Amino acid sequence: MTAARSTTAAHTTRPGSPASGARLAPAPTATAAPPLADTPLAISARGLTKSYGDKVVLDGIDLRIPEGSVFALLGPNGAGKTTTVEILSTLISADSGEARVAGHDLARDIDAVRGSIGVTGQFAAVDNLLTARENLLLMSDLRHLDRREGRRRAAELLRRFELTEAARKPVATFSGGMRRKLDLAMTLVGAPRIIFLDEPTTGLDPRSRRTMWEIIRSLVADEGVTIFLTTQYLEEADQLADRIAVLDHGKLVAEGTAEELKRLVPGSHIRVRFADETRLDAAAALFTTGTRDSEALTLHVPGDGGIPTLRAVLDVLDNASITAETLTVHTPDLDDVFLTLTGHGGAGSDVRTAAAA
């Protein structure tokens, strides 16, 4: 039991418990810049920076996240997503910059911030030696809930996360998905108003991912909770987030709704593939707005995927007696946005449909 308790000490990194005294350094710009507006923002930040040695991880991050919304932070591995979560949840300190979380200054009122937030880290922080129920009860003790209330809350959360059957089994026997769910349930014990979820569905199967999405949606819709999540799944951001920001090389390179971000990349096009280069050449001469990909023997013709447009393209080819092999419609999605913005693909490249073709 002692061992179990000491393993559980990892939980003290959860805000609300006596963790290390993370502080924001006094912002050098604090006097020059006007204070952050006092609007109903759950989270706001200005000029957050963080370096590890020579490596600049965050190079001036600004955020404005309204209460009751879902904000998704995207970025390639090592972009600084977890670092951002750690700073905003008081687990580590920024080198400079200022931030307010739940109306409290991160530098001056760290306990108040911790009392308002919950964090589910990138790696499940559940105690393997305890059962699911014991993990939840332990959390309610840490949160100073009274015993009865703690038991009630644990039972409710176990039911909500479909863990009732497994409630009295040691977590060591849980699958990765069950562990993730329990981890989020533990975050919810203290009924936080702002929840940080660092890659909440990584490793979950499609069904468990959808369950998690439903839980997240209901937290926002029914309880007005604010969610700050990081994810590698662009579909997840598309499904859940009101606003999305893309982090790359320490800076936010884009921010907006999924629709706004999709507008940043080249629009829909029709992709026509030919059997050989001769046909491709002939077709390219007819569609002067098209761009050709000689390697893939395809021509990309700008235009939507509506039947009239498709028919028009086929008619032009037919009239010139050019046979096409396949015809596919491509609409930009968040994957394109991500690949374009983070410099791992070009505006013309299209990993997703290329792989599917």
Q: Which is nearer to ligand ATP, 81 or 243 (CB)?
A: 81
Q: Which is nearer to ligand ATP, 57 or 126 (CB)?
A: 57
Q: Is 116 in the site for Mg ion (CB under 5 A)?
A: no
Please state the closest distance from residue 67 (CB atom) to Mg ion, in A.
25
**187 CA to centre of own chain:** 17
Task: Report the 10 Å Cβ neighbour count for 298.
Answer: 25
DSSP per-residue string spanning 174-235: --HHHHHHHHHHHHHTT--SEEEEESTTTT--HHHHHHHHHHHHHHHHHH--EEEEE-S-HH
Q: Which of residues 95-124 bind ligand ATP (CB under 6 A)?
A: 122
52 contact choice in Mg ion, ligand ATP, none (CB below 5 to 8 Å, kind-dependent): ligand ATP
Q: Is 82 in the site for Mg ion (CB under 5 A)?
A: yes
Quick note: the x/- pattern for ligand ATP over 17-56, rule CB under 6 A, is -----------------------------------x--x-
| Residue among 105, 45, 32 at smallest CA distance from 80 | 45
Please state the closest distance from residue 199 (CB atom) to Mg ion, in A.
6
Please state the closest distance from residue 329 (CB atom) to ligand ATP, in A.
31
Distance from first CA to last CA of the chain, Å, rounded?
Answer: 56
| Residue among 196, 254, 252, 257 at smallest CA distance from 228 | 196
Q: Are 82 and 76 in contact (CB under 8 A)?
A: no
Part of the chain binding ligand ATP (CB under 6 A), chosen from 70-78, 133-141, 220-228, 308-316 = 70-78
- Residue count at the site for ligand ATP (CB under 6 A)? 12
Q: Which is nearer to ligand ATP, 77 or 288 (CB)?
A: 77
Residues 6 or more apart whose Cβ sits within 8 Å of residue 159: none
CA-to-CA distance for 354 and 179, rounded, in angstroms? 35
Selected binder of ligand ATP within 2, 31, 77, 289 (CB under 6 A): 77
- Name the residues that contact ligand ATP, by CB under 6 A: 52, 55, 57, 75, 77-83, 122
